[in-house]
């Protein structure tokens, strides 16, 4: 009985801004980006992907991002997944941009310059949270663009998993 009551309360609150800000802030956006083995050292390249979040279709009607505002990235991390032991230090620098799926409203949200050559297979990025991403997270899909420069040549395509945590506040 108590579980049913809690479920009813949760469903009732799911449409309100406070609940949606908690939900949006709880589930990160993730994307898998591919670094091409054909990229030349020292030249700038882009890799693009669609970011997904568990809560994108949380509500019956889809994304409830209209109930939140002041959405910002609060942390971002890259992890090599294929090969899992790829040293991200092979990259000299990188920037992460998010936008609507058509590329409109693109904002840089994270970067890293002068990456340590021996960093290993995971890297926490420096955040640029000066931009509000309210309009972007209201979209059903979010595009991620990774701009990178290689420090050393690589001999196989590399898949990097990006995790971006956000903070959102209730829309009043």
Q: Which of 70-79, 119-128, 144-153 bottoms out in mean pLDDT, i.e. has the lowest?
A: 70-79
Predicted local confidence at residue 134, as pLDDT: 81
Indicate the length of the chain as a whole number. Answer: 172
The domain ranges of the chain are: 2-170
Cα→Cα distances 18→11, 62, 83, 172, Å: 13, 17, 40, 9
Residue range 46-62: average pLDDT? 69
Higher pLDDT, 28 or 5: 28
Task: Count CA within 13 A, CB hemisphere, residue 154.
Answer: 24
Residue corresponding to tokens 């040293």: 87
Cα→Cα distances 77→16, 38, 68, 118, 136, Å: 30, 24, 24, 16, 20
Res 172 pLDDT > 60: yes
Task: Render pLDDT for 58-85 as a digit per residue (tens, 0 to 9).
Answer: 443 455 556 667 788 899 999 999 999 9
Cα→Cα distances 130→45, 48, 49, 83, 165, Å: 24, 22, 23, 33, 15
Higher pLDDT, 14 or 156: 156
Domain 2-170 has CATH 1.10.10: no
Q: What is the pTM of this model?
A: 0.80
Residue range 24-29: average pLDDT? 65
For a pLDDT cut of 70, what percent of the chain falls above it? 74
Q: With CA atoms as reference, report the closest residue to 18 among 73, 75, 64.
A: 64
Predicted local confidence at residue 4, as pLDDT: 56
Pick the most confident of 8-12, 62-66, 109-113, 132-136.
Answer: 109-113
Percentages helix, strand, coil for the chain, rounded to the nearest 5? Answer: 20, 45, 35
Q: Enter the tokens of residue 6.
A: 């809690």
- CA atoms of 115 and 35, how far apart (whole Å): 16
């Amino acid at each position: 009985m108590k579980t049913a009551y809690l479920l009813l309360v949760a469903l009732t609150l799911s449409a309100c801004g406070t609940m949606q800000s908690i939900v949006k802030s709880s589930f990160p956006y993730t994307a898998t980006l591919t670094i091409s083995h054909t990229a030349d050292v020292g030249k700038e390249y882009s890799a693009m992907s669609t970011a997904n979040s568990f809560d994108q279709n949380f509500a019956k009607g889809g994304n409830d991002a209209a109930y939140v505002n002041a959405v910002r990235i609060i942390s971002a991390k890259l992890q090599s997944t294929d090969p899992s032991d790829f040293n991200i230090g092979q990259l000299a620098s990188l920037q992460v941009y998010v936008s609507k799926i058509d590329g409109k409203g693109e904002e840089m949200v994270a970067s890293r310059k002068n990456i340590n050559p021996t960093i290993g297979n995971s890297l926490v990025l420096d955040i640029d949270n000066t931009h509000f991403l309210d309009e972007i997270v209201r979209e059903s899909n979010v595009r991620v663009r990774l701009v990178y420069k290689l420090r050393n040549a690589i001999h196989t395509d590399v898949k990097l998993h990006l995790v971006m945590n956000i903070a959102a506040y209730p829309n009043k």
